[in-house]
Amino acid sequence: SAVISQKPSRDICQRGTSLTIQCQVDSQVTMMFWYRQQPGQSLTLIATANQGSEATYESGFVIDKFPISRPNLTFSTLTVSNMSPEDSSIYLCSVPQGTYTEAFFGQGTRLTVV
């Protein structure tokens, strides 16, 4: 199974600022996923990050708000831009296992916007 390191583990940010979350995997993977878990809610996929191409965003999420980088096959970043209190959530990085069956998750980044 892949080992996924996510930084920071938590942060408290002022509204209007931006936060970049890093995800490092110990093996090369084609696809990396970014999920959001709002307080008391389930996980929602934000986007899929593919190395060498633009990220693919799910309905309701846009690149200007959540820009993603994928410079190589083991690393990705998600930026939460121009934050508001509604962005307070846990953000999780995920990679598929094997032939895209189960997925493995990082520990998550708990973001609080004040």
Partner 1 sequence: AQSVAQPEDQVNVAEGNPLTVKCTYSVSGNPYLFWYVQYPNRGLQFLLKYITGDNLVKGSYGFEAEFNKSQTSFHLKKPSALVSDSALYFCAVRDEYKLSFGAGTTVTVRA
Q: Which residues bind partner 1 (CB under 8 A)?
A: 1, 6, 31, 33, 41-43, 45, 48, 92, 94, 96, 100-108, 110
Helix (H) or strand (E) holding 45: strand 43-50
**In this structure, what are the phi and psi dihedrals at residue 86, rounded to the nearest 5 degrees?**
-65, -15
In the complex, the smallest distance separating the C-beta of residue 16 from partner 1, rounded to whole angstroms, is 27
Nearer to partner 1, 10 or 15 (CB): 10
Nearer to partner 1, 3 or 15 (CB): 3
Strand arrangement, sheet containing 4-7: 4-7, 19-25, 75-80, 68-72
